[in-house]
Structure 1
Amino acid sequence: MIIENTTAFTEFLLAGLSDISELQVLLFVLFFGIYVLTLLANLTIILITWLSPNLHTPMYFFLGNFSFLEICYVSSTVPKMLSTLLAEHKTITYVGCLTQMYWFLLLGGTECYMLAAMAYDRYNAICRPLLYSVVLSRRTCLQLIFGSWIIGAVNASIHTALTFTLPFCANKINHFFCDIPPLLKLACVQTWANEVTVFLISGSVIVGSFILTIISYGKILSAILNIRLSSGKKKTFSTCASHFVVVMIFYGSGIFMYFRPKSSYSMDQDRLIAVMYTIIAPLLNPFIYTFRNSDVKAALSRLVDQIIITQKL
């Protein structure tokens, strides 16, 4: 349906995750399971870090906040995606689309700098252990988290405002959620200003935080190579390597998505890439960052034991 201007319609049509109708139910079951598992894993982390006094340290403070962020991040896109998989009319209201884009960009931008803050935390713990509690004070941790949310909010406000002031000639979004690239494809006018803004602002957010993260992991790697005990080196390297894999999935897919001209957008390909940083990365994060940690495993075991004892009483 061709639309004359933005005041002539009140909703968008979402193409969804797949155009093959026979796959809709299967995809719903698969991604519903992933969504529930992601929520349960992150809620468990929040509960453990809150109830375990021995986990009241900067590292777990960041992990608890990161888990809360992940719950919000995955919930900004997946519930609507699940509903469109089973719906006959895959629509989202104009206001709903605007709101979804704002929260997705806010949470995504916040996650970029939260990952950088967590890498900085690990750098101080491994490379400057004697100064760790001084450098990562409660106030500093709060400032890093608050700063991450501020950067995410500014990033989201700029892109959402610029995107939704464009006149749209069509209302079918060839994607499973409202994102910048598919909406730019619907614009009736030249979008070079939007593309330059995405490149500059998103470049500052994504690439800037990525560089900070890489610097921290680079220094950690250098410190690991100086560890004499092979067992200690292997354990620390394994932990940081797994962290780095998740970082590369999140940043790599995000950079690929937003750092291309509009003419090179391929929405079928981009939907697959978007799944990586909107669904797969949030699923992997709690298991990579937290559940492989021996302290968390011990705290989870104690919590389960307490629940069992309480039920018996």
Structure 2
Amino acid sequence: MDNYTYNSPTLQLEGLNVSKDSIYPLFFFFFFSYLFIMVANIGIAFLIFTDKSLHQPMYLLFCNLIFNDILGNTNLLPRLLIDMLKPSSERLISYYECVVQAFTTHLFGTTSHTVLMIMAFDRYVAICNPLRYAVIMTDKMVIKLTISAWGVPLVWVGILLGLTIRLNTCRTLILNPYCDNPSLFKLSCESVFINNVYGFLFTVVLLTTSIGSLVLTYTKITVVCLTSKNKSLNSKALKTCSTHLVMYLIVVFNGISIITLHRFPQYTDFRKLCTILFHIIPGSLNPIIYGLQSKEVQKLFSKLFESKKIFPSL
């Protein structure tokens, strides 16, 4: 008969199962990935907030994505890096810290979808209603979109974790490199039927809403581009929308992969790697695709480099 520990205040993280030869290469890969994510995202955010020419709805909405990437990766990677250098028996975490990490993890994933949805709406207005863009995308609208992009995930994820913390736990091993909702409710010996139902509905509603809204948005944008003879409009639409669509597909693919792999225990190690890459890949690509591709940001960077070249000559 299994030995159970009921409602233990301390849990153990299984971590990544990698060979000794792979630990340090993987450690430095995660470390430099986190360093790049922080420097790139904070740098782009600093430029947006300090330069008035970038105080436009598109860039202000993009700041939500920056903050979400910083939050999601800071929640995961520093702790993961520390645990990688510890033996498995010392990878301990308190139950309440685990709940907070799980909440932040699911908030990051959900907000990734909602922020991309409001950014798609901004592109729709800019391309399909350019003459009314300034009237529609006011400061109040930007604030409303931002609140909805964070408020809805906060409520949904709050309910998700609320259903989990009501359960009594009888196990202490988290079968994951970090805490998430499935790993937490699997610690319980009680019925988790409600958790599975809500988790399923949560996923279906989120994916249906985000995919549906983006399909509708890009269908209308495509119709406008096909019926318009304005080459500059079509070029702008292709440039801004293609990158946005690529990032969205990456987020959706990673999310679906993680959900699917949860159903196949034989691919546990691959699932663990996917969950980590789900944080790293978007966080690394977002500042490059959305920030450095922008003409305004490119001009600011060129001015900075030109000023650095001038000062040494003085």
Distance 1:256 1:234 in 2: 33
1:20 matched residue in structure 2: 19
CA contact (8 A) 1:18 1:24 kept: no
Distance 2:263 2:289 in 1: 36
Residue 264 of structure 1: how far off its partner (Å): 4.0
1:287 matched residue in structure 2: 288
Which has the larger displacement, 225-234 or 77-86? Answer: 225-234
**Alignment TM-score, normalising by the size of structure 2:** 0.89
Mapped pair 1:202 → 2:187: no
Distance 1:47 1:137 in 2: 22
- TM-aligned CA distance change 1:25 to 1:240, over 3 Å: same
- TM-aligned CA distance change 1:311 to 1:107, over 3 Å: farther
Q: Which deviations, in whole Å up to 9, do the C-alpha atoms of 1:58-104 show, x marking residues without a partner?
A: 11111123212221121111111111111222222111101111122
CA contact (8 A) 2:112 2:251 kept: no
- TM-aligned CA distance change 1:126 to 1:84, over 3 Å: same
Distance 1:72 1:263 in 2: 27
1:144 matched residue in structure 2: 145
CA contact (8 A) 1:174 1:182 kept: yes
1:179 matched residue in structure 2: 180
CA contact (8 A) 2:15 2:175 kept: yes
1:200-239 equivalences under 5 Å are 200-228=201-229, 233-234=234-235, 236-239=237-240
Which has the larger displacement, 39-48 or 231-240? Answer: 231-240
Residue 270 of structure 1: how far off its partner (Å): 1.8
Query: Percent identity of the aligned residues?
Result: 29
Residue 231 of structure 1: how far off its partner (Å): 7.1
1:61 matched residue in structure 2: 60
Residue 10 of structure 1: how far off its partner (Å): 2.1
Q: Which deviations, in whole Å up to 9, do the C-alpha atoms of 1:1-41 show, x marking residues without a partner?
A: 943311xx222222223332331211110011111101111
CA contact (8 A) 2:174 2:184 kept: yes
Residue 294 of structure 1: how far off its partner (Å): 1.5
Residue 259 of structure 1: how far off its partner (Å): 6.7
2:81 matched residue in structure 1: 82
Paired AA for residue 76 in structure 1: N
CA contact (8 A) 2:69 2:279 kept: no
Residue 308 of structure 1: how far off its partner (Å): 6.3
1:10 matched residue in structure 2: 9
Which has the larger displacement, 284-293 or 120-129? Answer: 284-293
Q: Root-mean-square deviation (CA), in Å?
A: 2.5
Paired AA for residue 50 in structure 1: F
Q: Which deviations, in whole Å up to 9, do the C-alpha atoms of 1:269-302 show, x marking residues without a partner?
A: 3213212322212111111222112221112222
SS in 1 for 2:187: coil
Distance 2:191 2:37 in 1: 39
Distance 1:234 1:135 in 2: 23
CA contact (8 A) 1:163 1:194 kept: yes
SS in 1 for 2:5: coil
Distance 2:241 2:114 in 1: 18
Q: Which deviations, in whole Å up to 9, do the C-alpha atoms of 1:87-141 show, x marking residues without a partner?
A: 2222221111011111222233222211100010011111111111111110010
1:271 matched residue in structure 2: 272
Distance 2:3 2:279 in 1: 30
SS in 2 for 1:177: coil
Distance 1:17 1:214 in 2: 37
Paired AA for residue 124 in structure 2: Y
1:31 matched residue in structure 2: 30
Distance 2:202 2:313 in 1: 56
Distance 2:120 2:227 in 1: 19
Unaligned 5+ runs, structure 2: none
- TM-aligned CA distance change 1:66 to 1:311, over 3 Å: farther
Q: Which deviations, in whole Å up to 9, do the C-alpha atoms of 1:118-173 show, x marking residues without a partner?
A: 01001111111111111111001001101111112112211112122223332222
Q: How many residues align?
A: 310
Paired AA for residue 106 in structure 2: L
Distance 2:50 2:109 in 1: 28
Unaligned 5+ runs, structure 1: none
Distance 2:313 2:150 in 1: 43
- TM-aligned CA distance change 1:234 to 1:158, over 3 Å: same
Distance 1:283 1:41 in 2: 8
